[in-house]
């Protein structure tokens, strides 16, 4: 099975195909362990087909979510620029520490 055959199918069709491949993988593994299978290379081929189907499903999920989240990504990048970095956190904490020491001296 080639990826070109899979990539244009819907998610429901891919899930059905995935279930079929997993069942086939189970039966091939069972036959292999009971030494009833002559063509052991088919196990490897089915595992690769499962990986192809999972990749196609994930790509379609990303396409669906990416079109919905474009606005959210723009907002998130704008808000990250106002984050405090570790250097600004250290600078503000040392200023507070020095002012607290000065206040303690004045109180004495």
Per-residue model confidence as pLDDT tens digits over 6-43: 988 999 999 999 999 999 999 999 999 999 988 889 99
Half-sphere exposure of 81 (CA within 13 A, CB side): 4
Model confidence band, residue 1 (pLDDT cutoffs 50, 70, 90): confident
In this prediction, residues 61-79 reach a mean pLDDT of 71
Region at 84 (left for phi over 0; alpha for psi -120 to 50; beta for the rest): beta
| C-alpha span between 37 and 46 (Å, rounded) | 14
Strand, coil or helix: 35 = coil
Q: What's the predicted TM-score (pTM) here?
A: 0.60
Domain tally, the chain: 1
Q: Which domain holds residue 30?
A: 3-107
């Amino acid at each position: 099975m080639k990826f070109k055959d899979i990539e244009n199918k819907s998610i429901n069709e891919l899930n059905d195909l995935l279930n079929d491949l997993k069942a086939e993988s189970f039966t091939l593994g069972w036959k292999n362990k009971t030494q009833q299978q002559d063509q052991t290379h088919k196990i490897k081929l089915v595992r690769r087909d499962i990986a192809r189907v999972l990749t196609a499903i994930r790509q379609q999920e990303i396409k669906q979510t990416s079109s919905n989240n474009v606005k959210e990504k723009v907002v998130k990048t704008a808000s990250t620029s106002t984050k405090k970095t570790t250097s600004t956190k250290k600078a503000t904490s040392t200023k507070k520490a020095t002012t607290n020491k000065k206040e303690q001296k004045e109180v004495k």
